[in-house]
Amino acid sequence: MTFQKGHKLSPGRTEGSKNKKTLARLGRFEEELDEIMKAMALKDKDTEDYRTLVDAADKINKQIQLLSGEPTERNDIMGVEISVRK
């Protein structure tokens, strides 16, 4: 198997690189997000359709972040101190 790690004919895919299927999905999601943004520009902001488009854009944006390897949310906790009582 030439694509297995450590094979003498091929070093394998580098860590963090994406395969063609992932790149195709990523491109499709980005195109879909562009279409949603265009549709949002044409809608009135007080309608139910606009809220549905915002929800769809949020979900697609998270899918793009996941496929590109980025976290979907930032939950950084700074300065946490834990004390234990006996």
Give tens-digit pLDDT for 40-69.
999 888 888 899 999 999 999 988 888 887
Task: Please list, in sequence order, all residues whose beta carbon lies within 8 angstroms of the beta carbon of residue 15, skipping any fewer than 6 positions away.
Answer: none
pLDDT for res 45: 86
Query: CB 7: neighbour CB atoms within 10 A?
Result: 11
- For residue 54 the two structure tokens come to 């915002």
pLDDT band at 12 (very low <50, low <70, confident <90, very high): low
Helices (H) and strands (E) in the chain, counts: 2, 0
Phi/psi for 85 (5° steps) reads -100, 145
**The pTM is what?**
0.61
Which position has the token pair 């997000």?
Answer: 33
